[in-house]
Amino acid sequence: MNSKPKLAALASAAMLIGTSASALADHDYRTARNDRAMYDYAPVISSQPIINYVTVSTPVRECWEEMHYYSVDRRARGTSGGTLLGAVIGGVIGHQFGSGRGNDAATVAGSLIGAAVGSDSARRRNGDDYGVERHGRPVERCKTSYQERREERIDGYRVTYRYHGQKYQTEMPYDPGRKIRVRVDVRPAG
């Protein structure tokens, strides 16, 4: 009777060791720790860039110089005085003619004629420009325009690889090189 419990214990130990050994054999360096997914590497057959053409606008600033002309009024101080003096003298002379309402009209006419004569006299004294000077200075002018050009941009890579005799294709944001890491999904058929 004693041999049966020892035999049962020995059988249980052998089963436990066999189960542990098979579990350890299933565990591979390619297995992820968290989700028990398996990973392997597959050789890359080809990797072709996916090219997209884009238009790029670049601002270009163009500058040049233009002459800007302006006038400065430099009238002599006596010009307004000559006009005023001519108006007063013309008014006094015009007041000497006529009587009543005609006297007023003659005074006004004399003032206007006297002002014109005084202004002409001041203008001749100061020259034909009448005290106005013209000047020019360079001014920088700028304009921004845009130059457009087409550029090639690589949006990713179309990768073809082989795993266990089968060809597969995927798109990746980078060129993987000579081999690609693949996730192996093993499930029981059923």
DSSP string for 110-175:
HHHHHHHHHHHHHHHHH-TTTTEEEEEEEEEEEEEEEEEEEEEEEEEEEEEEEETTEEEEEEESS-
Q: Looking at residues 174-184, what average pLDDT do you find?
A: 93
Is residue 68 predicted with pLDDT exceeding 50? yes
Using CA atoms, how far apart are residues 150 and 58, in angstroms rounded to an integer? 11
Using CA atoms, how far apart are residues 44 and 163, in angstroms rounded to an integer? 9
pLDDT at 23: 45
pLDDT at 77: 53
Q: Looking at residues 2-17, what average pLDDT do you find?
A: 59
pLDDT at 35: 59
Lowest mean pLDDT among 20-24, 132-136, 151-155: 20-24
Q: Looking at residues 160-182, what average pLDDT do you find?
A: 94
Q: Looking at residues 146-173, what average pLDDT do you find?
A: 94
Lowest mean pLDDT among 2-6, 29-33, 71-75, 110-114: 29-33
pLDDT at 114: 72
Is residue 112 predicted with pLDDT exceeding 70? yes
pLDDT at 136: 87
For residue 50, name the pLDDT band (cuts at 50, 70, 90).
very high
Asked if residues 101 and 170 have their Cβ atoms less than 8 Å apart, the reply is no
For residue 25, name the pLDDT band (cuts at 50, 70, 90).
very low
pLDDT at 133: 81
Using CA atoms, how far apart are residues 53 and 157, in angstroms rounded to an integer? 15
For residue 111, name the pLDDT band (cuts at 50, 70, 90).
confident
pLDDT at 174: 93
